[in-house]
Structure 1
């Protein structure tokens, strides 16, 4: 059996996946200098002069306060267990057990887990589904208004709302318009901006607005998905007003490690400082220009691409050529081109912030070989899931998980209550949540997804006994 250490030493290929620092090529210069020191010198505990994200004193506390001021918000916390831990703590700070939270249907699975942990009822809001791509798009202001106008009574107080901006694929929303609708109802809003960290920082090009500057109460940024930090690093920003910062601090203490890595904390600081430096807009513009040129060259060469709002995400429309994105991913990986997100109809590459010299030539060559070997008639579109209305689970997710359950074929689950999460990862968007009742349409759709994506969507589902 190959060991992890030997794999880490030997993995090759062109990295078009997360983390977006391109295997170190685009890490902040100050962090690169730290990593050139003898390994282990930076593996330190929470010494008094260092402190930690939840400590009042020390270098980390001072850095967090300085960066909050720089971004024009009130509080900042570094995270060392990814955006996941910060998203979960944020939701638990906003809602008490027995309350409800509005969640877009394309919410990340970490927030479903937070609902389970906190005894919170998720109220799901529909988002557009792109049938030619087989995945969700960005929520629209008109769609959210319709949802709010037809909001059912969940049987408990709605405490807050969550938005996703941009999506995994880089589709951006009118975040200011969405926030206006929710705040007009008095709801505090958490925005999962894990894939849009770069939107909040100085730029020479026209980018979608960041929720940080649009007035969201809480915003979570990943520092490795859309910023050039080390994997597992993230940051939470807060504007005081509707959410007590002491509640956020208490929720973070429940979920964050008591032994944060000094290297991860240094990566948080170095990455954010780098993105606030005068050199960052120059680098960002260069990478976006490279990405736009790449997409233009590939499109002219006949490589089918889907459009998006983030040029650093390249969405290859494999289904148009009769090729599953899952099969294309396996084939590309064998050829040394490693993508980020395979799906039945497309394959998404994250170009990140490193340079990719010669990529257009390599991409064209490999695509032509793949067409010659596996191309055919366009694949059938994926119909939208039957989740086009606001929906409330029958039971709290944590209650559904605690009850006795049995596993049945999907076709025999009509009318039953789900007792497990079905969530292909990546992208981590739930198709079925514990506590939801499975009607005939949902079962038929899941059966179809199982046929196209058997490794990710099971043919058997755990339901309440």
Structure 2
């Protein structure tokens, strides 16, 4: 039997006790009823091409086009497109629709690497702005309006004129602020706004007033939702929403044609349809509200029992602050995996669990026992030291052309020997896709010292060598 199929069929992956990771449907338990019925049909019967009756995301007729029109109308936007290669392909196409070759795009340092790749594909210059850093846990915090005003003032000081802007809302961990003033500040400058809201499809209006609002409600021009990260979609499903007058939907459609497959999976397209429809039905919204209440109740019980937690506005993210107990989150993850508790995101200072949309009966008791056992096995009376923020300017751009640095002659050197050189690679530890260094950036002494420090924290993610422009 092939190795992958063997793993998928093994008991370890097929039936873990607590699989608190993405996709958010919780190993199928949270999938919409219609999708579960479809998957019970004869295997392969749903693996269909773009038949005329079905069509595809870029076709004007067929069931997919009708579903996209209905979804856009239900949300109150002008258009939407389903994606079957995750949020990645939709983010890239959206960015290419916002700026032309030779132009610059303002984006935060926690932008996904797919957007850096889109800049390379489109001949764009990323103007990267720094973000607040939470030293006790090593996380990037939420962007606030006052911080963005500082960034825009620095933009003026440097004489930079971007063609568009990108925001991330919420972050992987669930940190979020009100996107309304952020979008307004950017629109005041005439900048169309793309929001990577991959982790925010469940920020539905009218469900829970304590949740942050969606970027769609804040007026963002283009918004991407990952339906397997924050809705009950299968892996690789996503949707791109378009509204307002600053972006031409026909141009978006053309850019999607560059990057989307001409053979989309009918199964994944059906999953896009059912995942979005679930939030539009009263029954689905009630189920979402129950999941949010369940997440808050779980966090309250664990916190009351002494488990150090980090709260974010998203109740579906449960973050153990392992650093507070002197435990490296990567070591905690390896220990818990052997005991069949699977987290989504291990980091040196934390362990993040994604509760998703399945019910978790008895989870609080099981997690409390595991925490107590973990603390006895690996804990310390001394918390881990604070994490060092990256030595980054408030606003910066690559000194070398992004594509030339990435594709041109390069050589690998030890980090200690790279001072003054131009990076020719992305350095991207977990969380997946958040680059610490992008091609074209100059590696100065302070950045290299910081990378060496990060290498001690992430030994499997940051190597001792770095590729530089030859």
SS of the residue 1:212 aligns to: coil
Contact 2:192–2:221 (Cα < 8 Å) also in 1: yes
Aligned pairs for 1:34-183 within 5 A: 34-151=38-155, 157-183=161-187
Provide the C-alpha distance between the structure 2 equivalents of 1:349 and 1:302, rounded to a whole number of angstroms.
Answer: 17
Q: Which residue does 2:448 correspond to in 1? A: 443
Q: After the TM superposition, which of the residue ranges 219-228 and 454-463 deviates more from structure 2?
A: 454-463
Distance 1:120 1:155 in 2: 17
Matched, 1:382 2:384: no
CA–CA separation in structure 1 for the residues paired with 2:335 and 2:353:
14
CA distance in 2, matches of 1:219, 1:97: 22
Q: Deviations over 1:66-98 (max 9, x none)?
A: 111110100110000000000000001111111
Paired position in structure 2 for 1:18? 22
1:149 Cα deviation from its structure 2 partner: 0.5
Q: Output the CA distance in 1 between the equivalents of 2:183 and 2:103.
A: 21
Shift of 1:425: 3.2
Aligned equivalent of 1:431: 436
1:261-282 CA distance string (max 9 Å, x none): 0000000001111110011221
1:417 aligns with 2:422: yes
Equivalents in 1 of 2:281, 2:177: separation in Å? 27
Report the CA distance between 1:402 and its aligned residue: 2.2
Q: Who is 1:315 aligned against?
A: 319
Mapped partners of 2:400, 2:177: distance in 1:
30
- Inter-partner Cα distance in structure 2 for 1:266 and 1:452: 41
3-state SS in 2 of match to 1:90: helix
Contact 2:155–2:161, Cα closer than 8 Å, also in 1 = no
Query: Is contact 2:20-2:354 (8 Å) kept?
Result: yes
**Mapping of 1:259-278 within 5 angstroms?**
259-278=263-282
Structure 1: how far apart are the matches of 2:338 and 2:121?
40
The aligned counterpart of 2:336 is: 332
Is this contact kept in 2: 1:200–1:213, CA < 8 A?
Answer: no
- Give 1:426 deviation, angstroms: 2.8
Tell me the residue number matched to 1:400: 405
Task: State how far apart, in whole Å, the 1-side matches of 2:138 and 2:386 are.
Answer: 7
Q: Which residue of 366, 369, 381 corresponds with 1:365?
A: 369
Q: CA deviation at 1:240?
A: 3.8
- Tell whether 2:210 aligns with 1:206: yes
Quick check: 394-403 or 103-112, which moved more? 394-403
Distance 1:368 1:401 in 2: 47
When the two structures are superposed, what TM-score results if normalisation uses the length of structure 1?
Answer: 0.98
Q: 1:116 to 1:172 in 2, by over 3 A?
A: same
Distance 2:384 2:156 in 1: 37
Displacement of 1:372 in angstroms is 1.0
Residue in 2 that maps onto 1:352: 356
Mapped pair 1:462 → 2:453: no
Aligned Cα RMSD in Å?
1.4
- TM-fit CA distance, 1:424: 1.1
Shift of 1:156: 7.1
Aligned counterpart for 1:287 among listed residues 286, 291, 301? 291
| 3-state SS of 2:202 partner | helix
Q: Once the two structures are superposed, what CA deviation does each residue of 1:327-358 show, in whole Å capped at 9, x if it has no partner?
A: 01111111000000011110100001101111
CA distance in structure 2 between the aligned counterparts of 1:96 and 1:153, rounded to whole angstroms: 23
Aligned partner of residue 217 in structure 2, secondary structure: helix
1:31 shift after superposition: 0.8
**Does the alignment pair 1:231 with 2:252?**
no
Look up the match of 1:9: 9
CA distance 1:410–1:103, shift in 2 (3 Å) = same
Aligned length: 465
Q: How far did 1:208 drift?
A: 0.7
> With structure 2 as the length reference, what TM-score do the two structures score?
0.97
Say which SS state the counterpart of residue 163 (structure 1) adopts.
strand
Deviations 1:163-212 (A, max 9, x none): 00000000012200100110000000000000000113541443111011
2:226 is equivalent to residue 222 of structure 1: yes
**Mapped contact 2:347–2:430 kept (Cα < 8 A):** no
Contact 1:312-1:351 at 8 Å conserved across structures: yes
Which segments of 5 or more consecutive residues in structure 2 lack a partner in the other structure? none
Structure 1: state its 5+ residue gaps.
none
Q: Distance in 2 between matches of 1:381 and 1:410?
A: 23
- Deviation for aligned residue 1:23: 0.4
